[in-house]
Chain A
């Protein structure tokens, strides 16, 4: 993938759009992402009843979204909670270790694992701790625990004092999101709420491909956090940051994402490919894919073209693509 936008995102977009269509088309998992999707949600020690309720609500919402909206197998969502329910374990360091060790053993490199930390975090300089029941786990300990995992990994630390986790856990091919972007940000965060909302908010889908990538969720959640403070007229005490380059430096949601940003390709739902038993419709689908590829190619060449030439070609291609897409929708009854 080159250029500002992901070619694969364009390529996937139409298939997802079609996946929702009825009639002659069927949606099947795409071969490219045939691995399993797993999640580990850790709700740490809350400290106070009000936080216990709030953190549990975030956990429940997130788990429900993963299962119900994104189709995670219930067994693929591991929950370590302050007050565990059936099938969950208690949020101690020992249980967190056990859960990660189990996932490490069972996940393959084609799988993807999302780890979300909800609760409180504290940090003194580089030494940050996610608060658990009993002894906490330091950044270094988390790093060591995650190192053997073969699956594609994304870690979202939604807590206060989470910033040291950015550099601490950053690794090539891994996405790390922290709710804060400085050592000084130590107040309780609203980022977890924003992140959960971003996963279901259609506004988060910036490229309107019907899917929400981790980058889109992060960008939208960051916006919701900013609005939260702006609408109250108070100074923001948290600014989320993302690293998907492995350098641990991170970038804000307002920064331009690098070419081939892994976070832009990190989708929570399973990719699907639409095919049709209707030969004419299949021809249209093939044509749509070809046009989409041409659009991607044109966008990659944009820097070498005059604006006028780009606009002319882009408009022509988009016109064709729009016509084909309309015809597909018409034939499929959508």
Chain B
């Protein structure tokens, strides 16, 4: 990039000089015929472009360019090269030379292309916008992006869809989709039917706004049904949507319209991988090599498909092949790094990413991944059986105390249920900063809704400190992601998303009845509004961000139903069927002996039986509840005792009127209708608050505990219950609340101390020791006391020497501490 900066700096000076030199060295602007052909092609009007090119003056060198543009549009690159070469020899700084350079670059004649384009990028005489445009395109061709950007900026005031589209294309290549979107939109303001801008904008929005991306491409297709680039973009979109048949059809259309291109060969390699795995890709890649033996495109495209299927070992192997062909392909190097991170080989990933960074320093993805590798390098590595955990150093002591036993349990449960054991270590990385988790997972910060991710044998997740206490259960997240490890392995990584997510949420619920059922009320409301998905629409629901949460929930219900009907064995068969490449119909048939329709029908029956009553309770009141007098609300509540919203409205109105005793009845009814209602505005929380106000501690405890049976991350309620229980010496409630607090917020040292002491009282010394260890790791309020607690647990476990060492540490802080002194004597046998 150093060269680019130098040239970039020089450009403004050159622009000044150009004013003087124009008279001496005026370059002719692109001929009208070239411009007209480009415009016609950009609208998909091949016939028109052909007519314009053929009518032009054969003696004019621009005519050769116009004809070549038509040739290239139709895939006749050889003919185009012949036409362009003659014209380029006559004028090596002209339009023909530029098009020839770009053609050579595209078709593997990299050295020739570089020489030609580099010379064009050195031109500093400008008579018209076309000269800047030529410079910009040449500079992009030789990767001098700063220079190109300077030139594009000179064109910014020219209202040209073509200029803006080319500029946007460069932004997209430089990983700046936001800037690209701005330029594409400006291009479309100048010409709403400029097909390359429609295609480009569709690509730029593919991740951020898939529906808009699809719509744009359909618009391009309607505008130019025979534009090959539209069909190529469709291939990309359809493969991203896992629709291989449609992608193949689009590829065939593309090949008809523009035969024999390297793009076609590359995408056929990707499709071949989808169809036949590595062997298929290997065979298809030969067609790429026949066009350009140094092209990485085929293997790269196939690798991306492998990664999309979570087959990261395959993806890495394909990326390595791509790099072997073109070591200077920054995307291939980046892909290799990314895939290796997802296989857990972080050392090799770093090497690849370093190379990618050397080749292209514009990629925020590359930089972010390298940065997060630096973060992970500072983590504490905890090998544990089949797992390798990586925790932030300051969190390791606490998290390992909880995460390791939970992971052991998960491995045991899932290995048995799914009949599979991963053949390599499972890497679990836990990030105290959410953005580090997001970058480790997707290469960019954000990913706000995600708590964890699984790549097969790599799990990444937020630590409890990554979010405010009470926002999520990190243990449920770990359990969920570890379930993915097994369902992915059991299906050879071919399990559809609805099933693997459904299984993971279902597993959460099996582990803890409160886990995985957080959206029960929302589901009942959707059920009431007839907006649930059903078996057939679940896969689509997983593709829409707005429906993702409920899709997880409904998928877990479907899994619950499938297990109830067919047992774990049925699910195992289903996973194996998907692993063998079956589609839904075949997989359902093999696993359950039923068609998708039959499963759909039985699932609807299951949902009706399970949630019919709740659905009715959660129905939106009709007519809507309007503000009225208490008497009116009472009348309404009496008339509709089974409606949750009606009862809650009355309860809240009575609270507002400070009729706390009166509020109880409707709140009780609401709680009975929807016991899983959670949060501070839930009936149970309101009832508990009323009880506290009325100093009815026993009742308040009952209400808080009832709430926490469902609202399992409500740390505020748990702390209240713990305090009330301690006040009442209600040990059962206190134990429950403390355990929940420790689960949700393991960095609360005081809770570990209390929990440890409770466990000591019940003579569960080993568990108590875990809690005291955690307390000391977090930093207890009183270290001498905590060390003495730990020493007591050690002594109870007959670890006398350890106990003595620990109590000595307590006495170093507090030599006159009587409890520690007595314990010391006990450890000494005195």
Contact = CB atoms under 8 A, between A and B. Distances in A.
A220 B781 contact: yes
Nearest to B471: A233
Interface string B781-807: 111110000000000000000001000
Contacts of A92: none
A278 interface: no
A204 B748 CA distance: 16
Contacts of B623: none
A234 B471 CA distance: 12
A322 B812 contact: no
A306 B38 CA distance: 85
A17 B825 contact: no
B449 interface: no
A207 B784 contact: yes
Interface stretch (B166-174, B210-218, B813-821): B813-821
Nearest to A329: B818
B784 A208 contact: yes
A42 to B, nearest CB: 29
Given A13-B816, A323-B830, 20 more contacts: A10-B815, A203-B750, A203-B785, A208-B782, A208-B813, A208-B814, A220-B781, A230-B469, A230-B747, A231-B719, A233-B469, A233-B471, A314-B811, A318-B808, A318-B811, A319-B825, A319-B828, A322-B821, A325-B821, A326-B822
Nearest to B810: A208
B720 to A, nearest CB: 12
Interface residues of A, number: 35
Contacts of B782: 202-206, 208
A158 interface: no
Given A17-B816, A206-B813, A233 B784 contact: no
Q: Which of B467, B468, B821 has the most CB of A within 10 A?
A: B821
Contacts of B808: 311, 314-315, 318
A333 B724 CA distance: 34
A14 interface: yes
B812 A231 contact: no
Interface in A205-233: 205-209, 220, 223, 227, 230-233
A292 interface: yes
Given A206-B782, A208-B785, A223-B781, A233 B467 contact: yes
A321 interface: yes
B824 interface: yes
Nearest to B828: A319
A139 interface: no
A295 interface: yes
A207 B818 CA distance: 11
A307 to B, nearest CB: 12
22 contacts: A201-B781, A203-B750, A203-B782, A206-B782, A206-B783, A206-B814, A207-B784, A208-B784, A208-B813, A208-B820, A231-B715, A231-B719, A233-B467, A233-B470, A234-B468, A311-B808, A318-B821, A321-B815, A322-B824, A325-B816, A325-B818, A329-B818
A209 B818 CA distance: 9
Contacts of B747: 230
Contacts of B785: 203, 208
Interface residues of B, number: 33
Given A203-B781, A230-B747, A326 B825 contact: yes
Interface string A282-325: 00000000001001000100000000000100110011011101
A292 B783 CA distance: 20
Given A203-B781, A207-B784, A318 B824 contact: yes
Interface in B746-778: 747-748, 750
B745 interface: yes
Contacts of B745: 231
Q: Which of A201, A232, A233, A321 has the most CB of B within 10 A?
A: A233
A231 B741 CA distance: 11
A315 B781 CA distance: 25
A311 to B, nearest CB: 7
Interface residues of A, dominant DSSP = helix
Interface in A179-216: 201-209
A17 B818 contact: yes
Contacts of A321: 815-816, 821
A204 B821 CA distance: 19
A201 B820 CA distance: 19
A326 B715 contact: no
B812 A319 contact: no
A232 B470 CA distance: 9
A229 B719 CA distance: 15
Contacts of B822: 322, 326
A1 to B, nearest CB: 15
Contacts of B812: 299, 314
A319 B824 CA distance: 7
Contacts of B719: 231
A292 B816 contact: yes
Interface of A: 10, 13-14, 17, 201-209, 220, 223, 227, 230-234, 292, 295, 299, 311, 314-315, 318-319, 321-323, 325-326, 329
A209 to B, nearest CB: 6
Nearest to B780: A203
Contacts of B821: 318, 321-322, 325-326
Leading 10 A-B pairs by shortest Cβ distance: A233-B468, A322-B821, A208-B817, A203-B781, A208-B814, A13-B816, A203-B782, A207-B814, A322-B825, A295-B815
A14 B816 contact: yes
A10 B783 CA distance: 17
Nearest to A310: B812
A156 to B, nearest CB: 20
Contact of B469 (A231, A292, A295, A314): A231
Nearest to B465: A230
Interface string B668-700: 000000000000000000000000000000000
Interface string B480-498: 0000000000000000000
Nearest to B823: A322
A323 B471 contact: no
Q: Which of A17, A220, A231 has the most CB of B within 10 A?
A: A231
A17 B822 CA distance: 15
A2 B781 CA distance: 25
Contacts of A206: 782-784, 813-814
A232 B816 contact: no
Contacts of B825: 319, 322-323, 326
B693 to A, nearest CB: 17
B38 to A, nearest CB: 55
A273 to B, nearest CB: 15
Contacts of A10: 815-816
Contacts of A315: 804, 808, 824
A318 B781 CA distance: 24
Nearest to A203: B781
Contacts of A311: 808
Contacts of B750: 203, 227
Contacts of A232: 468-469
A230 B817 CA distance: 30
Contacts of A322: 821-822, 824-825, 830
A231 B469 CA distance: 6
Contacts of A230: 469, 747
A134 B822 CA distance: 58
A314 B805 CA distance: 12
Contacts of A318: 808, 811, 815, 821, 824
A311 B822 CA distance: 18
Contacts of A299: 812
A201 to B, nearest CB: 8
Nearest to B747: A230
A208 B816 CA distance: 7
Nearest to A17: B816
B830 A209 contact: no
Nearest to A311: B808
Q: Which of B745, B816, B822, B824 has the most CB of A within 10 A?
A: B816
A295 B820 CA distance: 15
